[in-house]
Amino acid sequence: MGFDIRRYMVGVGSELPGPANVIMQLSWPEVGYGVMESKVESGSAMKHPYKRARTTFTYLSVAMLGDDEDRRAFAKAVNGQHAQVRSDENSPVAYNALDPQLQLWVAACLYYGIVDLYERMHGPIPDQDGLYAYCSRFGTTLQVRQDMWPKDRAAFAEYWAAGVARANIDDKMRRYLDALTRLENLPEPLQRLNAERSLFFTKGFLPPLFREQMNYTWSDAEETEFNRRLRRLGRIDRRLPTNVKLLPFNALLWDMRRRHRKGTPLV
């Protein structure tokens, strides 16, 4: 029987590490400026936060739960958007959203995030090698070739260390990422209600180097409280039936398939 990703998918609190993972992804200037300068307005997190969130979580749903047809269909839609994201003469760095090396870094961040969230909520992962191999789908659903995914977890650790060392968040990118973290793209009532919580969990999920580059502080007391909250979420998650545990991912995959059958846009 093949590897079952469902046992490692966390629906409760799945949105909590999102801003931290975005910071890690965009810490590479070619990724960060590609997102910040993108001319694809419909995919802008600042202008269309709900649509952007749906697209991002649908991609995760398709990569983790989708079959080959789902992955091909969604990749085609995403590629149409990514083809428009290229640097020009005014960009501070050269970038191309179809670059598989940049996509590999994004996929690595997603893998890091799924492991970090699971272990903080539930403890050690039973089949670490199986999960690692499966998570290559975060990259291979798009332009990353299978042979580009580091061959094992030891090779990934080397790749990750080099990728973290390459992170370079400048002042402009820091302001952009901090605005997203503080939910400044949401209506003011929602921002006031959730910004402090978003900032707390973002700082908690960020590895120290990224936290430092964002100029965020973090205390031992905050770390203790952060881990306490996640363990509590883990206890809740373990009591849920599988179809509930998989929300919102299973619902988003169903919706993507419905839109694909109807011929409506997937992103």
* 3 vs 234 pLDDT, higher one: 234
Average of per-residue pLDDT across 33-47: 89
Mark residue 33 as left, alpha or beta (left: phi above 0; alpha: psi -120 to 50; beta: remaining).
alpha
User: Region 66-95: what's the mean pLDDT?
Assistant: 94
CB 70 within 8 A of CB 257: yes
Q: Provide the token pair at 12.
A: 């409760």
Confidence label for 42 from pLDDT (cuts 50, 70 and 90): confident
Using one digit for the tens of pLDDT, what is the confidence trace for 130-153?
Answer: 999 999 999 999 999 999 999 999
Task: Reduce the DSSP state of residue 86 to 3 states and report it.
Answer: strand
Asked whether the predicted pLDDT for residue 209 surpasses 60, the reply is yes
Q: What is the pLDDT of residues 49-64, one digit of tens each?
A: 999 999 999 999 999 9
Q: Would you state the pLDDT for residue 12?
A: 86
Q: Is 80 exceeded by the pLDDT of residue 43?
A: no
Residue 1 has pLDDT above 60, yes or no: no
- What are φ and ψ of residue 126, in 5° steps? -60, -50
pLDDT on residue 44: 87
pLDDT reported for residue 230: 97
pLDDT score of 11: 84
Please check the confidence at residue 48 and state whether its pLDDT lies above 70.
yes
Q: What pLDDT, on a 0 to 100 scale, did the predictor assign at position 51?
A: 92
Q: Is the pLDDT of residue 121 over 80?
A: yes
Mean pLDDT of the 156-167 span: 98
Residue 34 · residue 87 · CB < 8 Å: yes
What DSSP assignment string belongs to 106-167? HHHHHHHHHHHHHHHHH-S-TTHHHHHHHTTHHHHTTT--GGGS-SSHHHHHHHHHHHHHT-
Q: Peptide bond preceding 17: is omega within 30 degrees of 0, i.e. cis?
A: no
Mean pLDDT, rounded, of the chain: 95
Position 213 confidence tier, pLDDT thresholds 50, 70, 90: very high
Q: What is residue 39's predicted lDDT score, i.e. its pLDDT? A: 87
Q: What percent of the chain has pLDDT over 70?
A: 100
The pTM is what?
A: 0.96
